[in-house]
């Protein structure tokens, strides 16, 4: 891991350079094939449930039929510490540390292999927010990803897996560019590491936004504090995108909250997550942090979300969203996130 990350977000694509970047990854590759592999790549059938839910403004009613769902990959570190990734969006849908779930997934989440999974850690790419040529938050969270490298145990005892999304007819219909988006996931005793890279193999420069839409599970969002925002400017999406500056040492949530904090530090701590513990989020090359909770009224407008569920999540989302990543041909954007139960 680099010690310092500036605002430079691209580097030349060099295999050897990438491989030598961290000693951790070198150890990982040395350990390949030497230990127990835990892979559950199963066809996971959801019950056929019919859902109907009206929008708060009464404009429409959503009728959904949950279809047989998608494949999941389980990283199992032992000691009831696991991470489950649904290949639909390569969405992390569960992260259990000593059998304690750390992520929120709505009871009304729909696993139809079409829409984004409501909870866990969906990946937002190549567009954060509304999009004129495709769905809100882009296509990465609604595409089926490839399992590039099945879970493998490293010499450290940690488990890693790798996922990839390449451009295809579907992505080209919205964003007509070639790309390779990969992320390497490493499950440690109390940590979950994401190492992301976006490679531009084409002849044109890419411009995109990227975000990890992490839904943390919490007993009561009103009791959570989020550190690291003091002095940062933020775009308040609940107030027509007005720009403010944060003066508080810690951010608390007592109403509908939808803010893009800009140029945030490398670390945030969220208090009072599961079991009253703290969660540390470290991020690299993800210069912004979105804080979101729909609260009750907005929750009613979300078809795959129970209105009574809003106290049980806080989204703290590391991203590169207030300005796009500009990626010239032949270059790669790299970013990481480390979540740690303290
Ligand atoms: C957040 C956005 O990241 O995601 C919010 O800042 C948005 O504006 C929320 O409402 C949920 O988005 P979606 O598309 O998953 O309902």
Task: Please tell me the distance between residue 216's alpha carbon and the centre of ligand 1 in angstroms.
Answer: 14
- Match 């829409």 to its residue by tokens: 115
Active site annotation includes 317: yes
CA 310 to chain centre: 19
How confident is the model at residue 63, as a pLDDT? Answer: 25
How confident is the model at residue 140, as a pLDDT? Answer: 98
Q: What is the C-alpha to C-alpha distance for residues 9 and 342, in angstroms, rounded to an integer? A: 29
Q: Which of 193, 213, 268, 320 is catalytic?
A: 213
Are 303 and 64 in contact by the 8 Å Cβ rule? The answer is: yes
Q: Residues enclosing ligand 1, CB less than 6 A? A: 116, 136-137, 213, 237, 258, 290, 292, 302, 317
Mutate to test the pocket of ligand 1, among 292, 301, 321 (most ligand atoms within 8 A of CB): 292
How confident is the model at residue 70, as a pLDDT? Answer: 65
How confident is the model at residue 1, as a pLDDT? Answer: 36
Dihedral sign computed on CA atoms, order 221, 223, 228, 234: positive
Which secondary structure element, helix H or strand E, spans residue 235, and what is its range?
A: strand 233-236
Are 222 and 253 in contact by the 8 Å Cβ rule? The answer is: yes
How confident is the model at residue 46, as a pLDDT? Answer: 30
* SS3 (DSSP) at 290: strand
* SS3 (DSSP) at 268: strand
Task: Please tell me the distance between residue 12's alpha carbon and the centre of ligand 1 in angstroms.
Answer: 32
Are 180 and 283 in contact by the 8 Å Cβ rule? The answer is: no
Task: Please tell me the distance between residue 65's alpha carbon and the centre of ligand 1 in angstroms.
Answer: 23
Alpha helix ranges (H) inside 110-214: 169-174
Low-confidence stretches of the chain (pLDDT beneath 70) = 1-70
**DSSP assignment string, 140-203:** GGGSBPEEEEEEEE-TTS-EEEEEEEE--HHHHHHS----EEEEEEEE-SSEEEEEEEEE--SS
For residue 126, whether the previous peptide bond is cis, meaning omega lies within 30 degrees of 0, is yes
Are 101 and 186 in contact by the 8 Å Cβ rule? The answer is: no
Task: Please tell me the distance between residue 220's alpha carbon and the centre of ligand 1 in angstroms.
Answer: 20
**DSSP assignment string, 299-341:** HHT-TTS-GGGGGGEEEEEEEEEEEEEEE-TTEEEEEEEEEEE
Atom of ligand 1 nearest to the CA of 213: 3
Q: What is the C-alpha to C-alpha distance for residues 283 and 261, in angstroms, rounded to an integer? A: 14
For ligand 1, atom 4: residue with the closest CA: 292
pLDDT digits 0-9 by tens, 74-102: 999 999 999 999 999 999 999 999 999 99
CA 103 to chain centre: 11
How confident is the model at residue 26, as a pLDDT? Answer: 37
Return binding residues for substrate.
118, 136, 141
**DSSP assignment string, 72-126:** EEEEEEETTEEEEEETBTTEEEEEEETTEE-B-B-TT---SSSSPPSBSB-EEBS
* SS3 (DSSP) at 28: helix
pTM over 0.75: yes
Are 71 and 87 in contact by the 8 Å Cβ rule? The answer is: yes
pLDDT digits 0-9 by tens, 31-42: 433 333 333 443
């Amino acid at each position: 891991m680099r010690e310092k990350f500036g605002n430079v977000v691209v580097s030349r694509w060099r295999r050897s350079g990438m491989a030598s970047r961290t000693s951790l990854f070198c150890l990982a590759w040395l350990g390949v094939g030497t230990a127990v592999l835990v892979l559950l790549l199963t066809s996971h059938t959801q019950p056929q449930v019919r859902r109907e839910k009206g929008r708060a403004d009464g404009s429409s009613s959503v009728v959904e039929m949950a279809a047989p769902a998608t494949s999941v990959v389980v990283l199992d570190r032992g000691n009831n510490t696991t991470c489950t990734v649904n290949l639909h969006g390569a969405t992390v849908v569960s992260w259990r540390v000593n059998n304690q779930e750390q992520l929120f997934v709505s009871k009304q989440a729909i696993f139809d292999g079409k829409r984004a999974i409501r909870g866990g850690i969906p990946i937002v790419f190549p567009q954060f927010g509304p999009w004129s040529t495709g769905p809100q938050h882009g296509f990465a969270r609604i595409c089926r990803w490839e399992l590039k490298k099945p879970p493998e145990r490293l010499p450290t005892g940690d488990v890693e897996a790798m996922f990839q999304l390449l451009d295809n007819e579907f992505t080209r219909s919205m964003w007509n560019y070639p790309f390779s988006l990969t992320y390497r996931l490493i499950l440690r005793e109390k940590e979950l590491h994401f190492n992301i890279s976006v490679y531009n193999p084409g002849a044109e420069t890419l411009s995109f936004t990227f975000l990890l839409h992490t839904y943390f599970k919490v007993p009561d969002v009103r009791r959570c504090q989020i550190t690291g925002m003091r002095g940062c400017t933020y775009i308040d999406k609940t107030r027509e995108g007005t720009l403010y500056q944060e003066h508080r040492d810690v951010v608390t949530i007592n109403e509908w909250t939808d803010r893009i904090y800009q140029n945030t530090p490398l670390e945030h701590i969220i208090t009072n997550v599961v079991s009253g513990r703290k969660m540390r989020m470290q991020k690299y090359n993800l210069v912004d942090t979105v804080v979101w909770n729909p609260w009750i009224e907005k929750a009613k407008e979300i078809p795959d979300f129970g209105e009574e569920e809003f106290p049980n999540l806080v989204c703290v989302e590391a991203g590169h969203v207030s300005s796009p990543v500009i990626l010239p041909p032949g270059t790669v954007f790299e970013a990481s996130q480390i979540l740690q139960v303290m």
